[in-house]
Each structure stands twice: as structure tokens, then as C-alpha cells.
Structure 1
Amino acid sequence: MTAPVARAYDRRMSAAEPPPPLHKRVPPGAWTALAWCAGELFTLLARLRLPGEAEPDEWAAVQLYRWDGLTTLALSTALALYSGWLLARRPLPALVALLLASVLATTPLGVAAIPMALFLGPMVALYFIAATRPRRTATVALAMALGTLAAYLAVRVLYGWTVGTSAELAVTLVAVIAWLLGTSAHQARVHAERLSAEHADRAVTAERLRIAREMHDTVAHSIGIIALQAGAAARVATTRPEAALTAMRAVENEGRETLAGLRRMLVALRAADQGTGGSARTALPAGLSDVDRLAVTTTAAGVRVEVTRLGETRQLPPDVDLSAFRIVQESVTNVVRHADTHACRVTLDYRDDELALEITDEGRGRGSATDTGFGLAGMRERVALLHGEFTAAPRPGGGFRVAARLPVPAAVR
């Protein structure tokens, strides 16, 4: 049952979810490549005198315009695009290529630190690695990025060149922030997946409990009738063969109906398991309209059931209708099994805002109040789910009484 319920749950969730936003439809490698191109463009524009400026914000080194500088820029761009293509499959090698591209692109600029704009690509890659990969991989990626920045400064110090420590600290801070944002997104996704799995598990558990209640209500009633009829047949088998034959035919009919009901349930479950539609809820179409058939079957088994309807009979919501029938069925089954009586009364009172049920008998009530089975507990649970009231106790004058009040939603009224 787990598989069809989980698949049905996934289908409902998929149908209800809106399409993902644009930033989730574009792959991480594409965002990394776009960030690199944007950073490269910004770096070059900052070294040009734009309209309205007296001079560029940054003066370009002479090698930027030579063949070796242009070749280095082309090679670094190719490395960045390759890393974007590789990021989804091998994130750490892709980050290595991207960091190397940042260092190569910085070389012809003649600056004391890797510019923030040329480190946008590695920052975006850091975010996606932290958001989609395990914590260990994300930590290694952060160490690689910070190690590259530190190594760049260390090389310049060893050669006696000037270093931009403050600028590099700013780049480091932004890289750490990008990594933290990715880690936070990863934790939020894991939490959401855990909640979704727990929700699916609860749905599966609720479905199992519902099916168990349906099978208990149906089989328990039928077995009670079969036992009563078989006992009657055994008592009159030698003295009244015709009556014994009638009782055994009733046993046969009740058994066939029970098997048919179980077969319908199994067919519905298999249909759901194969994805062909259908549900266990449609396997046992029962409601208050079946009370008369229940009374006839039980009366034929030797316990007369008198059904009284008060108020205006009307169509009730499916959950109220099914729960009311199951309460009546379980109560009558308890009378057959425990009351040691030949009659019981079922009263259905259709009130304006609720349905009142009452099942009474005048038997000894043995086992009803202290029964260790799940009959009374199941009835109480059904009523509680519908926010109704339920009582079950011996009557002062003898016998047992089961009463329930099931509210009817205002929209239905």
C-alpha cells in the first residue's frame, strides 16, 4: 500500500505545485558562466574612459593590450566556460578550473589583488556547491577558494610586490557570505525534504489505519453472523434438517458477500498500485442506505433488528454517512457476539444540524463495557474525527446503549 499512496501523494503535490522560478530552471553552470562574463565585462569597462568620466576608474597595465594579455584573457574565459559545463558533474575540479581562470585573468591587469568582479564566478560556484553538495564537499570548496586568495597574496609578497590586503579581505568576506548562503539553502532543502517524507509517511499510516478499520468492520460483522448461523444449524441439524439447511445457506451467502467485498478492496488496491486509478475508498461503498440490508441479514441470523428513522431522511456527506453506518454495523455486531439477546433497536434521528444514532439492546451486555477489542475504540475514533460526541455504556435497566451525535456541516445543511 505504501507505493500507491506515495505515488498518489506525489501526483497531488506535483499537480498543486506551480512551476519553479527562473533561477531554478537555469542550471548552476549557466549562472556561473554568466557571472564570470559579467565580472570580466565590468573589469574591462572600469579600465576605459566611459562617457562623462574625466579618466578611467582603473588604469590598465600595458600587457592588457598586447597579444600575451589578450591570449591570457581568452584562455581564462575558456577555462571559466569549461568549469560551468563541468560544475554539475564534478564540482571540485570545476571550481579548480574557475579559480585558475580568475588568477589568469588577473595577471595582465597589473593589480595587487584579485578583483572582486573576477571572483564573481567562483563565488557563484561556491554558493551552488554549498547548496547542492554534502557538507564535506562544500567545506573543501571553501578552503580551495580562500587558499587561492591567500596564495595569490603570498606569491606577491615573496616577489616583493605590493599587495592589496584590504581589497583581498573584502573579496574573502563576500566569498564566505556566498558559501554561508549556499549552506543555509542546503539545510532548508534538507528540512523541507524531511517534512515532505514525514507528511507522506503520515498519509500512508492514515490510509493503512482506515483500511484496517474498514476490514475490521466488514469482516467482524460477517464472522459474527456466520458463527450465529452455524451454531443454529448445529443445534437443529438432526431435528430440523430444513432449518439447518436454511442456516447454512445463509452462512454461504454471508461468506460470499464478505469475500466479494474483500475482493473489491484488493482489486482497488491493485489498480492504485498499477497507476490505473481507483482507490480503496471506492472498494466498499457503504452508507446508511445499507442499514436495512444489515437489519435483514442480522434478523435472518437470529437477532431481530428494528430500524427507526426520525426527522427528514436526506443525503449526508460521505464521511458522515460512512461513519454512521460503521457505527451501526459495529454496534449490531457487538450485540450479536456479546449481548446474548434476540433483538436490538437502531434509531437514526436526522436533526437540523446533526445526525443522532442510538443502538440499544436488553441483553446481558457481557463484554461490551470491558471488551479488549477495537470496536468501541474504533467507533470513538470515528466520532472524534468528525468532532462529534460518543457514549457507550450499560443501561440502568439492563442491556447496553451506544449513542453518537455527528455534526452535519453548515454548507450541507
Structure 2
Amino acid sequence: MKGTSTTRKALSHPDLPLLAATTLTALALGETLAPGSGPAPSETLLGLLALALGTTVPLAFLRSQPLLTAITVTTATLLTPLTYGRLPLSGLPALAAVLYTVGRQSTGRTAAAFAVPFAACAAAGVTHGTALLIGAGATLVAGHAHRTRTEHDHRTAVDWAHADTALAHATLGERARIARELHDIVAHHVSTISVQAETARYTTPGLPPEGAEKFLAIGDTARLALTEMRRLLGVLREDVPEEAVRARAPQPGLDQLLALVDEARETSGGAVRLIVRGPAGPLDPGLELTAYRIVQEALTNARRHAPDAATDVELIYGENELRLRIRDCGPGAGPSRDGGHGLLGMRERTAVAGGTLHAGPAAAGGFLVEATLPVRARETR
């Protein structure tokens, strides 16, 4: 592979045609003027020199004028045996280069047109005409084969690109369809819960104040869940305007934990405390979101299984890690609590962040969720 790359780099060098033309011209002059070529009249010598230069010098213009160069070199090469009965050996590499270029860059008709004069010379019995026809035909075919292979590779690459684009559009369309259907189904039910909770506050006779507060908390939680679901589903939809994406609220972080704890305190029957230890510093937004979701799910878990128990939420900032400890004073573990989807979601989030999570009965009673997340400082610009 390294040798192939070196060869391609050498063949694509901008000075290669000029260097090749200079070398072949020197060889052609030496071939024509060599003492072993025999005495010749001055007119013959001048003609041979002109044809020798005609087969090599134009090679310097191969890249800028490929067809004109090919016509000139082909004409000079055929005139040499036709006029003087000699084969310009030094000009044969130049002839091969120009014919290969014609086959590679031109259409099949153009390549066939260049083969016609060689076939005519071979049919007329010109010296070395058959050998020139075979060599020219093989070179033109090789160049045309390279052109065909390159076009096929390009078409294949374009087809794959179109297929990838079509697949991407199909994926986006399917994601948008799922998001719309999920939104229509879940949003309807969550909205119904919110409306029923609000209605129950005013239509339930003899409802104590604590019950009204519970219904109010249910409505608030349902509206919050609806808002977060719409925010999450927004990233799945391709038909969301750019202005709506920019206006979408940011994902929650650790600075919103206090509001989360206040909400948990209002909706549960027990006390909820937030304890922060260590110097708090800026963290990666993804890590903050993971920590927030773990605390949120742990509080939901505690409210569901230990509704009247006190709960402590503890954040411990370390130099290389962030530790979360959420402990309630409830009855501890149970079958539904150990195998719930909430704990599975917390474990998945922790694993994605590269951390560890332990959830189970606490040593002093109750239930403990403890997560350790590796800290990566937020990049500053």
C-alpha cells in the first residue's frame, strides 16, 4: 500500500510531463545522431530530427492540451516509419503516455478514432505497422478500462451516498412519527390527570386542606411531567422550527436541586433535606443532568414506597468525583422497590456517565441510593 501511494504521488507530480519530455528528447536526439545510425543526407537528417522532436517535445504539454499533444505525437510517430522506414524507439514511451491519456480522459469514440490511422498503416504494410497497431490498441484499451472502472466506482459511491441519505431521511421520519404518536397518547392521559386533580379540589365535598394540597401537587407534577416529555420528544422530531429549538428550556442541572427538594417536601408527608459538602464547582452539563435525574428518581422512589418518611439528599463534591446519597427512613427494601424501573434507569444513567451506583437497605434502617460519578470540569472558552 505504501508503494502504491508513493507511485501515485510521483505520477501526479506537476513537473513529471516536462521531465519526461526532456529525457525522451535527449534520447531521441542521441538515437538520431548516433554514429551507428549510418550516414544520411542532410535533408533526411533534418526530417528525422524534426520527427524525433515531434514524438517527444509535445509530451511536456500533455496535461494542459491532451488531445493536441496526442495528435502531434501520433502523427510524428506514424510519419517516421512511413517516410523513412525507421521506428522512433525513443518516442514510443511518449506515444504510450498520450494514447493512455486519450483512453482514460476521452470517450470511446475518440479512442477508436485514434486507433484508425494505426490500423490503416498496418493494412498498407508500413514498416512496423502491425506492432504499432497492437501497442496502440492495447494502450487505448487500458486507458479506457481505467476510465470505466473510475466511473463505476464513482457511481457506486454516489449510489451509496444516496442510499445513506434516504435511510437517514426515513429514520428521521420514523422518529418524528413515533414522537408525534407518543406525544398524542401520553400527553392526553397526563393532561387528563392534571385536569381531574384540579377538578377534584373543587368538586370533592368535605375535602380537608391536606387533601386539597395533595390534589394541587398531583396537578403540578402532571404539568411538569408533560413539559419534560415535550422537551424530550422535541429532539426526536424533524419538523420542530429552529426558533422553537432555541426557545426550548435547558435541561435541569444541580442548581435546580433546591427546587426539586422543595417540591418533594410539598408533595410528600415527610421532611426532605438537601445537604451539600465540599467546594461546589462548575461541572459538565451532562454530568449535572445525570445527577439531577438520579436524585429526582430517588425522591420519587422514596415518595412512592415511604410517603411519610424523612429523606436526606446529600451531595459530596470531591476533587475527582461527585457522590450522591439519598436515604429515606422508611421500611427499607421490598420486592417492588428492588426490581423497579426507576432503579434500572438510575443504574443505566450512572453506567453511561462511567460511575457506580448502589441501591438497597441502609445500615441504620430505611433505603439508601448512593451514586459515584467521575467529575470532568466544564470546558471554558
TM-score interval for Structure 1 and Structure 2 normalised by the shorter chain? 0.5 to 0.7
For the aligned residue pairs, the C-alpha RMSD in angstroms reads: 5.8
Is structure 2 residue 361 aligned with structure 1 residue 381? no
| Greater shift in the superposed pair: 287-296 or 149-158 | 149-158
The residue aligned with 2:323 is: 356
- After TM superposition, the score normalised by the length of structure 1 is 0.53
2:338 counterpart (361, 369, 384): 369
1:160 aligned to 2:125?
yes
Corresponding residue to 2:259 among 293, 296, 308: 293
2:75 corresponds to 1:110: no
Kindly indicate whether the alpha-carbon contact (under 8 Å) linking 1:268 and 1:283 is maintained by their aligned counterparts in 2: no
Aligned pairs (5 A) from 1:250-289: 250-262=217-229, 273-276=240-243, 278=245, 283-289=249-255
Output the CA distance in 2 between the equivalents of 1:376 and 1:191. 46
Question: Aligned-pair distance for 1:286?
Answer: 0.6
Q: What is the distance in 2 between the residues matched to 1:151 and 1:341? A: 99
1:101 and 1:248 map into 2 onto residues whose CA distance is 90
SS at match of 1:164: helix
Listed one character per residue, the Cα deviations across residues 181-214 of structure 1 (whole Å, up to 9, x for unaligned) are 836974995699599879x96xx89xx8xxx9xx
Cα distance in structure 1, aligned partners of 2:299 and 2:316: 17
CA displacement 1:223-266 (0-9 Å, x = unmatched): 7xx79x95xx79x9554343333333333333334444455667
Select between 242-251 and 110-119 the one with higher mean Cα deviation.
110-119
Match of 1:329 in 2: 296
CA 1:270–1:389: 2 relative to 1, 3 Å: closer
Question: Taking structure 1 as reference, are residues 266 and 386 closer, same or farther at Cα in structure 2, changes over 3 Å only?
Answer: closer
Q: CA separation in 2, counterparts of 1:237 and 1:274?
A: 43
Amino acid at match of 1:182: T
AA matched with 2:258: D
Partner of 1:244: 211
2:278 counterpart residue number: 311
CA contact (8 A) 2:103 2:140 kept: no
User: How is 1:123-138 mapped onto 2 (pairs within 5 angstroms)?
Assistant: 123-125=103-105
2:99 matched residue in structure 1: 119
Distance in 2 (alpha carbons) for counterparts of 1:56 and 1:276: 79
Higher relative contact order (CA 8 A, sep 6+): 1
Deviation at 1:353, TM superposition (A): 1.6
Task: Give the Å deviation of 1:147.
Answer: 6.3
Q: CA deviation at 1:326?
A: 0.9
Q: Which has the larger radius of gyration?
A: 2
With over 3 angstroms needed to count, the CA separation of the structure-2 counterparts of 1:377 and 1:154, relative to structure 1, is: farther
What CA deviation, in whole Å up to 9, does each residue of 1:338-371 have, x standing for no partner?
4565343321111122110122233343423222
Matched, 1:171 2:139: yes
Shift of residue 324 of structure 1? 0.5
Q: Matched residue pairs, number?
A: 308
SS in 2 for 1:336: helix
Alpha carbons 1:386, 1:406 under 8 Å: kept: yes
Are the structure 2 counterparts of residues 180 and 358 from structure 1 closer, same or farther at C-alpha, using a change threshold of 3 Å? farther
Give the Cα separation in 2 of the matches to 1:180 and 1:58.
38
Equivalent position SS for 1:367:
helix
Instruction: Please say if residues 276 and 315 of structure 2, whose CA atoms lie closer than 8 Å, have aligned partners that are also in contact.
Output: yes
Counterpart in the other structure of 2:41: none
Query: Is the 8 Å Cα contact of residues 338 and 366 (structure 1) preserved in structure 2?
Result: no
- Structure 1 residue 270 displacement after superposition: 7.8
Per the TM alignment, residue 325 of structure 1 is displaced from its structure 2 partner at its CA by 0.3
The Cα shift of 1:328 comes to 0.8
Tell me how far apart the structure 2 counterparts of residues 150 and 173 of structure 1 sit (CA, whole Å).
10
Name the aligned partner's letter for residue 175 of structure 1: G
Aligned-partner Cα distance in 2 for 1:343–1:58: 108
* Structure 2: distance between partners of 1:393 and 1:187: 59
Change (3 A) 1:303 1:321: farther
